[in-house]
Amino acid sequence: MFTKKNYTAIQMAWWTRFETYLFIGIITAWVAVYYFLDLAWLKIPWTPLALIGTAVAFVIGFQNNAAYGRIWEARKIWGGIINTSRTFGMFIQDMINNEYAESPLSQEELQKEIKTLTYRHIAWMTALRHAMRVPKPWETSVNHKTNQEWDIRPPELESTLEQDIKPYISESDYAYISSKANKQTALLYLQSHHLRKLKEQGSIWEFSFLELESIQQELLTLQGKSERIKNFPYPRQFATLNHLFMWVFVLLLPLALVPQFAEIGKDFTETNPEIGSLFVWMSIPFYVIVAWIFHTMERIGRTGENPFEGTANDVPISTMARGVEIDLRQNLGESDEEIPDQFPVKYHTQF
């Protein structure tokens, strides 16, 4: 039966197939040299190799724990953005009214103010997700050929920030943020200025204004946390040395594994000479399994270091932001025809 678990296993095997081919080539060359040239002296004892393997396993485990921590923190940050965004949308609908206004606004004018604030918030999420997708020099996983061959790319690489943000803000707002390096911060400044204006004209009660300003503060905090993960990479000395140590272990492994299988084959020589002489070739599948496990675990750690890079294993911030946008616009009373669809899932991948 073809299940989701089987599909994931197939994806993992396909994702690492080029390295698997390399491991098969490495061990086949070692065994051929050992077998045909009779290089029985070409070996190392298991003790130093076991020590190296233990050290590599510890470092890979440390890297994977750190990478998972970065992914989980990024997920919590964007979970906070989702919850705070929904709270903001609910508050402005109830807190913007004529209860304390000296010059009451019409219901259409109030609704326009609510829509402007809501749309500007959607623009803020759009600017933030675009900022999180800007390539950094240390983000290299997305360039791997197995991450490009299916041509699954985050939506931010299919359009520009200008195209995505202009439908949600006025020309004056866009002119203002265009002159700023950090456009998402500029949008929060505009939100704060707008809320203050509504408070001064009495459309927002003073205590409500403080509550809405605290939400802007929370959004600015969450934005800063997200930017910190994006702009501060996993320490490169750990990442580089871990990758080097893994390859040292993988390349030295045949020097201990192949002679070991040759020794085991000698035990079959008296009872079954043919099996005994060819048993050394059995080291190929066992080497490939061990090398594949070490390399795949190290690669998983490297892939998880940058949770906003835009690969299939990253936090799906585009999907999360679009989901909040749909919620906010539905609660504004817009029809399904006016609201954009959720970003499509391709090969079981969300971005």
Q: What digits encode the pLDDT tens for the residues 192-210?
A: 999 999 999 999 999 999 9
Q: In the prediction, which pLDDT does 1 show? A: 40
CA 286/CA 292 separation, integer angstroms: 10
Q: What digits encode the pLDDT tens for the residues 155-169?
A: 888 899 999 999 999
Query: Is the separation of the CB atoms in 230 and 19 below 8 Å?
Result: no
Query: Is the separation of the CB atoms in 317 and 132 below 8 Å?
Result: yes
Which pTM was predicted?
0.87
Q: In which band, very low, low, confident or very high, does the pLDDT at 2 lie, cut at 50, 70 and 90?
A: very low
